[in-house]
Amino acid sequence: MSGDKVKVAIVGSTGYGGVELIRFLLGHPEVEIVSVISASSAGSPISDGFPHLTDIVVQPLDGVDAEQIAAKADVVFTATPSGVSAKLVPDLLQAGLKVIDLSGDFRLKDGAVYEEWYKHEAPEDNLLKQAVYGLCEINGDEVTRSSGLISNPGCYPTATLLGLIPALSAGWIDPQSIIIDAKSGVSGAGRGTSLMTHYGEINENLKVYKINKHQHIPEIEQSLSAVAGEQVTVTFTTHLVPMTRGIMSTMYASLKGEYTEADLVELYQQYYEGRKFVRVREAGKWPATKEVLGSNYCDIGFAVDPRTKRVTIVSVIDNVVKGAAGQAIQNLNIMMGWDETTGLNLSPVYP
Amino acid sequence: MSGDKVKVAIVGSTGYGGVELIRFLLGHPEVEIVSVISASSAGSPISDGFPHLTDIVVQPLDGVDAEQIAAKADVVFTATPSGVSAKLVPDLLQAGLKVIDLSGDFRLKDGAVYEEWYKHEAPEDNLLKQAVYGLCEINGDEVTRSSGLISNPGCYPTATLLGLIPALSAGWIDPQSIIIDAKSGVSGAGRGTSLMTHYGEINENLKVYKINKHQHIPEIEQSLSAVAGEQVTVTFTTHLVPMTRGIMSTMYASLKGEYTEADLVELYQQYYEGRKFVRVREAGKWPATKEVLGSNYCDIGFAVDPRTKRVTIVSVIDNVVKGAAGQAIQNLNIMMGWDETTGLNLSPVYP
Amino acid sequence: MSGDKVKVAIVGSTGYGGVELIRFLLGHPEVEIVSVISASSAGSPISDGFPHLTDIVVQPLDGVDAEQIAAKADVVFTATPSGVSAKLVPDLLQAGLKVIDLSGDFRLKDGAVYEEWYKHEAPEDNLLKQAVYGLCEINGDEVTRSSGLISNPGCYPTATLLGLIPALSAGWIDPQSIIIDAKSGVSGAGRGTSLMTHYGEINENLKVYKINKHQHIPEIEQSLSAVAGEQVTVTFTTHLVPMTRGIMSTMYASLKGEYTEADLVELYQQYYEGRKFVRVREAGKWPATKEVLGSNYCDIGFAVDPRTKRVTIVSVIDNVVKGAAGQAIQNLNIMMGWDETTGLNLSPVYP
Amino acid sequence: MSGDKVKVAIVGSTGYGGVELIRFLLGHPEVEIVSVISASSAGSPISDGFPHLTDIVVQPLDGVDAEQIAAKADVVFTATPSGVSAKLVPDLLQAGLKVIDLSGDFRLKDGAVYEEWYKHEAPEDNLLKQAVYGLCEINGDEVTRSSGLISNPGCYPTATLLGLIPALSAGWIDPQSIIIDAKSGVSGAGRGTSLMTHYGEINENLKVYKINKHQHIPEIEQSLSAVAGEQVTVTFTTHLVPMTRGIMSTMYASLKGEYTEADLVELYQQYYEGRKFVRVREAGKWPATKEVLGSNYCDIGFAVDPRTKRVTIVSVIDNVVKGAAGQAIQNLNIMMGWDETTGLNLSPVYP
């Protein structure tokens, strides 16, 4: 490929986030994939574990070695489990690479909070401070060419924050009234095998898990608190839905005024003006997860109940795209000064 | 079959509720099915439309004629669409039949409220008054041998009310804080064909519909208000989940005291003592819909968040059983003075 | 429970076959479950792993000890992985128990063939000889009160043999022309965790596996050869279908005469006369797996192609019921001289 | 868009084939969509019926008018139901448009055979003769710039013919021994509503339909006969699998020599050399439908059974892509002299 393309490497290529990075980056006009990396399967072709990539990715998987990565690549995506990036990223930065991290290890600014929710050791404080939280439509301005470490937001926080922040920022909802009922497809649990991902246990089943205990809660509260200018505490429930991809956040809040659905639509459309990947649905229409499947969109709809003076906000994403690989590439685009949609202009797959 | 069995007829046999009544009643030791009725398919065998009943139900479908039904049967289940029962039930009662109605037409005590939410004409007031609302574990005492018309609760209200009433009745939760995030499998939409039930549209999809507009809302509020002694207004969202059976109600309310999960478990276990079909899960465990699939159970679990002082209550049922046919038979059992579990002692189908 | 019920124990209670045995045996009027056994989870309640059994099975799981089982039980079902039964069953027989084995270890009469296909050591020859192959509708006559060891057929063989044997026995099809295209739901792979049962890999996917290599092939050929009076060799393909339960065998054979679909229907109806659990569909109608879901039925249909002189035979079962637990109980019924349908009279769950 | 792009119109935009054409054509560098046409919804935006296209396709739907289409477009895709194209295409050709037809109306060369299988009137003979059957990897050479009407192959024929023709062409299999066991996801049945596509009937179900009666049979036999040089008659079974996309053809044939799997792999790799969209799997590996989901690939694998001297060939496609919209665009590419992969270079969506 052309010598002046940006050279990228992917660590954690044998997870669902990793192969989704490959799917999009293969069609990205400014980028060349120079290394596909897996600690567990180095040396064999990725198609051994992912036959859908037969004849598409033929280079064998590389091992994890910061120096070797830096010798080939300009930017590295770390799609590793939480805890792994915390240890690996310092070496990658040290070697001169720019890092876009999908693991969750660098999202919380307070290491103590990280350790409370993630149950293992936090990265060093200076790294937590240095990391830019790349929720593109909200604080993409902080992502610049000089950013060395971008922390890609979690799947639940992406759907949730994009759905709440405009109303919260405008002072239209009571920050202490927020209840988030979130639902995810099973791919969010990764490719690891357990009863949690066993077909016989999940199919034809709807499960609730980690009520008020999910590690994405502090990430959501950190951003909401910054916007509200006060400590925001949310009620947060996560459900496992028998489907592969998709997140829906159904969010409830008390309205601080007599706002209509049309008012909310207008507020959000203005807030997200020019940002292609957020689609605000017109009043009375709500999005479904399949309407963003395989794409980088986040679709948002509203219902105002005049009887209870509450608003219900519905936000959907594809957890593997806008909730992981897609937004990571969007961050790369912003960091490089490219149009944020570069390489991401795929329509949803329907049906 | 034995002459001293109670003779039952089923109107609406070619809907999902109807065939589920057949499945359970075939195994009910005190009951004989004497007529299986369908307005649209009279004369042909039910196995034409439901081949799973081949060689099981061989009598041809009867037409809808109150006098003919009364000539054969003692009790009739009306598993008809809303609006149909309103017109049919007066004739059935007139003909001397006892009626257990699954349609929803007789659940609301106020005809005006019915017409507002159901968008068609309400039954006469005296029938609405006469109808006993058969939410078995809550007001089964009102169901007696002299009951002529039992109105079988809706699927969402069953899961929701069984989950909320003990805490509301004890004064532990704020009646005005209740938010209900409900999810249903597709069988709840019936066997009618539309894009709403089209496989290509529903599979791998999570949809939200009728936010704050579902006709089960006044049914829920009617019961909650009676318990609370004040007008209760709820926020109520319904979702369509890509599975056939199952309802989960995830409910949020503000706690009026420092109650723990263990407190709630104890409260609910006492409230439902002796009622086999409500299973209260121990603290820290929440039910999944598949754990009640094919059975008449309603399983309930709790999470208390000390940070927000809210409780999350999770209640699951099989919408076709406890949310329709199973509870209807439970009402028959109670009405006849039999053990309420008679004919309903099937364990959940797993996996 | 009543003292004169037959006392049964279940080894392997924490697999899908084991919990299905429990579901049916709990409703069996002649049987008492005296011990629910699991090597891996002894001491804890089964509801820890299977919450759907909460408040239904409360006795803690027992360990595997032949003497202790014999002290409590008359009959034991061994729903263990292949290889485990081979070692355990001799002790159970020695202790005086009657054994109905679901593992597959005692189905092949020739130990060498067993070792070739199962890849581990065969049970002793005298046990292989003693074991009665309990394909109820075919050779149920061999199951008697004096049977000590019944080998319950495999899921694929059950669907396949019930579909082929009447035509083969009548000499209507060419024994050397048989091609079997079999499809199974994922529960057939058991509750073990692997990529083979991972939701993300199986959902929205159709996979083929073990072509001509499945260990059920010699079991099928053994029975077909006995019927045909010559060595029968089949082409046999297995597919994994994204559903939990159900097997469909689509079978192809060359007709040895000008037989019509009506001829086949009549032949099969006569062959299975009086056997409730085999339902022969009328000409032009074919069964679907959901039409037997949760039940002990095997439904069979036919298509004759005059152009190619081949017949296509379609046979469906619920792999967990007729393909495992249900047929095992049917064998118990026959062995005890009870009606073969005792405790098994559940209609299919639909939808 | 650029004035020198080829201008295309899509008739039948509100079916699944139509929206898939849109998904791919939006990313096609040489093409501009100038008209999106629907007889039933003209005047409204396509996002009314397909919200996933919100903000992506904003032009309102046009009506069906050959002159108006010709005024705007160079090429038209007709993704219409069978029978509709037969009537519409003559006008489109008359108006000077090039037509790529997805309906099936122009695939059979013999109008009498068409009428026997499709049960309605065939197009005129001269059009049937003129139409080029666009099975790209087999007879793409016949598609040229002068082609006015390309008949895009059916979904089952595409998977089946690509899987059979190299072996048949080489004389390695007996043409009269071919048995095809085909399985399809539900999207193949289109967006029309019926019990055939009702979620409650299809989910957790495996159905067989139209055994030896599917209208794709003569299409398959026409091509196989041409290759074999004799009339080939196949046994052909179609199944409906509970998934949205994907076709698997499992094919059986008697080998005419001692060919190994490795021989077949080599034969097929040579046959398809340079054709990116056919991926021949190495010996011992078979494709799964999800491995081509959302992409234009057809993956093929083999199993040879030395015991029966039969080969089992497994071929998978995404029915909406390679079985419809993708191959139609591939035909456009070939017709225009572009690289056949232009605009189709999307990797499969996994998971």
Q: Is 80 exceeded by the pLDDT of residue B276?
A: yes
Write down the pLDDT at residue C1. Answer: 41
In chain A, what percentage of residues exceed pLDDT 90?
A: 98
DSSP 8-class letter at B226: H
Burial B1-17 (b: 16+ CB within 10 A, else e): eeeeebbbbbbbbbbbb
pLDDT (tens digit per residue) in B206-233: 999 999 999 999 999 999 999 999 999 9
pLDDT (tens digit per residue) in B115-164: 999 999 999 999 999 999 999 999 999 999 999 999 999 999 999 999 99
| Cβ proximity of D79 and D13 under 8 Å | yes
| Mean predicted lDDT score pLDDT of chain B | 97
Cβ <8 Å between B199 and D204: no
Mean pLDDT of B261-282: 98
In chain A, what percentage of residues exceed pLDDT 70?
A: 99
DSSP 8-class letter at C96: T
pLDDT (tens digit per residue) in A107-121: 999 999 999 999 999
Chain A CB contacts of B260 below 8 Å: none
pLDDT (tens digit per residue) in B180-213: 999 999 999 999 999 999 999 999 999 999 999 9
Residue in the block written with tokens 């017949």: C311
Write down the pLDDT at residue B3. Answer: 59
At the second CATH level, the architecture of D156-318 is: 2-Layer Sandwich (3.30)
Mean pLDDT of A246-257: 98
C317: left (phi over 0), alpha (psi -120 to 50) or beta: beta
Cβ <8 Å between B288 and A208: yes
As a whole number of angstroms, the distance between CA B168 and CA B232 comes to 11
Write down the pLDDT at residue C55. Answer: 97
As a whole number of angstroms, the distance between CA B132 and CA B143 comes to 7
- Residues of D annotated as catalytic are 155
Write down the pLDDT at residue A3. Answer: 59
Mean pLDDT of A10-18: 95
Percent of residues in chain B assigned helix, strand, coil, to nearest 5: 35, 20, 45
pLDDT (tens digit per residue) in D131-188: 999 999 999 999 999 999 999 999 999 999 999 999 999 999 999 999 999 999 999 9
Q: Is 90 exceeded by the pLDDT of residue D2?
A: no
On whether any CB of chain D is under 8 Å from the CB of B146, the answer is no
Q: What is the DSSP string of D130-190?
A: H-EE--HHHHGGG--TT--EEEPPPHHHHHHHHHHHHHHHTT-B-GGG-EEEEEE-GGGG-
| Mean predicted lDDT score pLDDT of chain D | 97
Mean pLDDT of A123-139: 97
What is the domain class of B156-319 according to CATH?
A: alpha beta
Chain D CB contacts of C316 below 8 Å: 206
Paired with A78 in beta bridges are: A11, A101
DSSP 8-class letter at A68: H
Mean pLDDT of C28-41: 96
On whether any CB of chain D is under 8 Å from the CB of A19, the answer is yes
Look up the pTM and report it. Answer: 0.98
Q: What is the DSSP string of A217-279?
A: HHHHHHHHHHHHTS----EEEEEE-SSSS-EEEEEEEEBSS---HHHHHHHHHHHTTT-TTEE
Paired with C62 in beta bridges are: C37
As a whole number of angstroms, the distance between CA D253 and CA D232 comes to 12
Q: Is 90 exceeded by the pLDDT of residue D44?
A: yes
On whether any CB of chain B is under 8 Å from the CB of C285, the answer is yes
Q: Is 70 exceeded by the pLDDT of residue A2?
A: no
Write down the pLDDT at residue C3. Answer: 58
Which amino acid belongs to residue C230?
E
Check: complex ipTM more than 0.95: yes
Instruction: Give Rg (Cα) of chain D.
Output: 20
Question: Which regions of chain B carry the CATH code 3.40.50.720?
Answer: 6-130
Q: Nearest 5°: phi and psi at A279? A: -115, 115
Cβ <8 Å between D203 and B204: no
Question: Which regions of chain B carry the CATH code 3.30.360.10?
Answer: 156-319
At the second CATH level, the architecture of C6-130 is: 3-Layer(aba) Sandwich (3.40)
Chain B CB contacts of C320 below 8 Å: 351
Size of interface A-C (CB pairs under 8 A): 56
On whether any CB of chain D is under 8 Å from the CB of C231, the answer is no
Burial B216-252 (b: 16+ CB within 10 A, else e): bbbbbbbbbbebbeeebbbbbbbbbbbbbbbbbbbbb
On whether any CB of chain B is under 8 Å from the CB of C345, the answer is yes
Q: Is 70 exceeded by the pLDDT of residue A134?
A: yes
| Mean predicted lDDT score pLDDT of chain A | 97
Cβ <8 Å between A200 and C186: yes
Percent of residues in chain D assigned helix, strand, coil, to nearest 5: 35, 20, 45
In chain C, what percentage of residues exceed pLDDT 70?
A: 99
Q: Which of B199, B243, B290, B349 to mutate to test the interface with D (most CBs of D within 10 A)?
A: B199
Write down the pLDDT at residue B191. Answer: 96
On whether any CB of chain C is under 8 Å from the CB of B299, the answer is yes
**B155-169 and B217-228 helices cross at what angle (nearest 10)?**
20
Reading the block at residue B229, the tokens are 């002694």
DSSP 8-class letter at C340: T
Residue in the block written with tokens 């639902």: A183
pLDDT (tens digit per residue) in D231-290: 999 999 999 999 999 999 999 999 999 999 999 999 999 999 999 999 999 999 999 999
Q: Which helix (H) or strand (E) holds B27?
A: none
On whether any CB of chain A is under 8 Å from the CB of B349, the answer is no
Write down the pLDDT at residue C49. Answer: 96
As a whole number of angstroms, the distance between CA D212 and CA D199 comes to 25
Label residue A1 by pLDDT band (50, 70, 90).
Answer: very low
Question: Which regions of chain C carry the CATH code 3.30.360.10?
Answer: 156-318
| Mean predicted lDDT score pLDDT of chain C | 97
Out of B187, B200, B242, the one facing D186 most closely (by C-beta) is: B200
Which amino acid belongs to residue C54?
T
Measured in residues, chain D has a length of: 351
C298 is catalytic: no
Which amino acid belongs to residue D290?
K
Q: Is 70 exceeded by the pLDDT of residue C2?
A: no
| Cα of C346 to nearest chain B Cα, Å | 7
Mean pLDDT of A128-148: 96
As a whole number of angstroms, the distance between CA A283 and CA A266 comes to 10
Q: Is 80 exceeded by the pLDDT of residue C107?
A: yes
As a whole number of angstroms, the distance between CA A130 and CA A99 comes to 12
Write down the pLDDT at residue D3. Answer: 58
Write down the pLDDT at residue A127. Answer: 97
Cβ <8 Å between B54 and C279: yes
In chain B, what percentage of residues exceed pLDDT 90?
A: 98
Mean pLDDT of D117-123: 96
Beta-strand (E) ranges in B4-129?
6-11, 31-37, 75-78, 98-101
Mean pLDDT of B165-179: 98
